[in-house]
Structure 1
Amino acid sequence: MNTAPTPDTYPLTRRADDDANESWLLLHNGDLLIAFAAIIDRGYELWITDIAVHPDYRGRGLASRLLNSVIHENSGSDIALSACAMDLQEWPKDAGGLPTEALAAWYTRHGFRSDPDENAEARMVRIA
């Protein structure tokens, strides 16, 4: 019998800063933040600034759960992001996520396409 946690095991919570047009989708295991997505409403599109999963919880579908939640909850909005790998100060630096090329391929599987501009060479967009 497989008792490994599924992506739905962890409760999804939301936070918002209406003054800054920012919101966050958060996944916790008890008191531990294990994954989050940060979104800015730019008026003409939503911009996903970050999707990150704690190194100990990667490979469980948590990033896909967060991204699918953003897409589903904003089905009438264009959604853009920069598909660049990054390291977070809060989590071990030697436990980096996907390299940029693999990250772009992952976003492509979720319906995003390359749409670079002068501000973000790795910009991708998912049109509503």
Structure 2
Amino acid sequence: MAATKHTVSDGYEHPHYRRRRTMMPVVHLTTSYPEYVWELHTPTDVVARAEALDGEIVRICRITVPLCHRGHGYASLLLRAVLDHFPDVTVGLAASPPPAAPGLDRTALRAWYARHGFVPAPLRNDPHRMLRPPAPGSSPAVSDASRMGS
């Protein structure tokens, strides 16, 4: 995947690099539509990655943080970058971790997404679906009813 990097934040101060005042930028990679990718970098590594697909509802496909980098708020930082990129669009996801994957269980994962404004919106074929409606006062390009699957 050929990608162009665009920094979307001034950076996030990594706790292990605090003495050196190294900032970790959130980078939005330019990819082939409809895919969107954001990464969080240290000077030498990618420490977190978020992937989404654009559409009537933007769907977050995955947020990954390697085990050695968990517990520092990187997933929250990337999720905020995705939500900031799409303030006037409903954003959806399936709040169900892969079986036997390290990390949050289904209940904790749903609670984590709820703290970021997502609400349960299950469908028969997608019982773990959660949606974050457009930000208050935004001007959605498509009606809320059609975004919510009604």
So what's the TM-score if we normalise by structure 1?
0.81
Amino acid at match of 1:63: A
Q: How many residues align?
A: 117
Say which of 25, 29, 32 aligns to 2:38. Answer: 25
Moved beyond 3 Å, runs of 4+: none
Are residue 82 (structure 1) and residue 88 (structure 2) matched?
A: no
Say which of 43, 50, 53 aligns to 1:40. Answer: 53
Are residue 115 (structure 1) and residue 121 (structure 2) matched?
A: yes
Greater relative contact order (Cα < 8 A, sep 6+):
1
Q: Percent identity?
A: 31
So what's the TM-score if we normalise by structure 2?
0.70
Structure 1 residues not aligned, in runs of 5+: 88-92
Are residue 127 (structure 1) and residue 133 (structure 2) matched?
A: yes
* Matches for 1:3-14 after TM superposition, within 5 Å: 4-5=15-16, 9-14=23-28
* Matches for 1:64-103 after TM superposition, within 5 Å: 64-86=76-98, 96-103=102-109
How large is the Cα RMSD of the aligned pairs? 2.2
Note if contact 1:35-1:53 (Cα within 8 Å) is conserved in structure 2. yes
Structure 2 residues not aligned, in runs of 5+: 1-13, 135-150
